[in-house]
Structure 1
Amino acid sequence: MKNNVDVRTLLSVYEKIKTQGHTIDFGSELDGIQCTENQDGYCVSMSDGTVSLDINFHNTYHFHTRNEDPDGVINQTTTEFHNNNEAQIQAFLKKLEVLDQKY
């Protein structure tokens, strides 16, 4: 992936969603971004419905996009598939950046 992700900033955004957002069934939500954490607190997740981001212990992270499987996407080359997913991830990161600046 082409992005440089600052995990500390992501965790700061997560904390803002958790403390300033409203409570939903499975976590908190702020400006269309939902966040959850597992029971021991070692893994947190954020999602906008198109892209989700898991941040794990030792600051490792993984993005998931709506179309994870390139074989399941009809009429799209592998390059188009990867570019589409990268664009979705970049748009998600921009939403997190805006949220971080706003709150």
Structure 2
Amino acid sequence: MVTEKEVWNALKKAIDFELGVDVVNLGLIYEVKVIDGKKVYIKMTLTTPTCPLANAIIADVYRHVKSLEGVEDVDIEVTFDPPWSPDMMSPEAKKLLGM
């Protein structure tokens, strides 16, 4: 059985390849739910709807979460409501990006 904490830790390994910062610290993850200890639902966004690396980022999120022991299914919903803004980044991410 996987926990939400384990999922969040796995998500910290998924990177926005263009910015070189993980999706959690960028504020791209809006919601995580673990259902019956084996199914994971993730609601996320991207920095822009026209992100050229969208498929790679989503695949990286999927790969890291699916690799957790006990995870049978990963459902990723991408939304742009609310739209992402730099205000959603953690202080660590802002520092890394020189903001």
Same fold (TM over 0.5): no
What's the TM-score, normalizing by structure 1? 0.33
- Bigger radius of gyration among the two: 1
Q: Which has the higher contact order (CA 8 A, sep 6+)?
A: 2
The structure whose residues are more often helix, as a share, is: 1
State the TM-score, normalizing by the size of structure 2: 0.34
